[in-house]
Chains A and B, each alone.
Chain A
């Protein structure tokens, strides 16, 4: 089966940088995704890493190390609107079944 671990809560100051880590165990790994979900909203896609290394999209970056079964999401220049839950998710298996982690609740404080 698949399992993912990420911190349950993180607090950071507006304007700062925060890193949310994700470790996973799975067979047939294809890639690691990150999603953002505001309270009462639906998850929205942030990034996808299939290969080792860093992917940058504006203020958000995502990193993957396949050999370490580890990835992280880096959020720079934090804004209050970044307060949300962040989920890592693995794509695995023949049809790339997606398994979500339990989520990290990020609170940005002034």
Chain B
């Protein structure tokens, strides 16, 4: 069974530029999550999708971050414009359903904003 795929793995941009991350969850997983993990901290949930609908985006900085999940499968997360404090690893995870606790994480995208 293929795992959660993410691209790119690394990205370096200057502040005020834009960037997009892509995630392909495990086939059949209805729930998809985007997390931001700053070095030395736990993952922070940015947005949670159930199929292609948003069920939680309370911690998403909506003035600069946006995300979509088309057809309930792949998802993209965009930052525009980026700030220095956005430097972090962006993790995508999926689960069969919201219930049960077990999430499968992709390898993440390490973003550096200079």
Contact = CB atoms under 8 A, between A and B. Distances in A.
Interface of A: 30-33, 41-45, 48, 50, 87, 89, 91, 93-103
Given A87-B42, A95-B55, A100-B42, A45 B104 contact: yes
Contacts of A48: 100-102
A96 B99 CA distance: 6
A91 B98 CA distance: 9
10 contacts: A31-B101, A42-B107, A42-B108, A43-B91, A45-B104, A48-B100, A93-B56, A95-B98, A98-B101, A103-B41
B22 interface: no
Given A97-B45, A98-B45, A103-B41, A30 B106 contact: no
A33 B42 contact: no
Contacts, number: 61
Nearest to B100: A48
Interface of B: 33, 35, 41-45, 48, 50, 55-56, 91, 93, 98-108
Given A42-B107, A43-B91, A100-B43, A95 B56 contact: yes
Contacts of A50: 101
A19 B42 CA distance: 19
A45 B45 contact: no
Contacts of A42: 91, 105-108
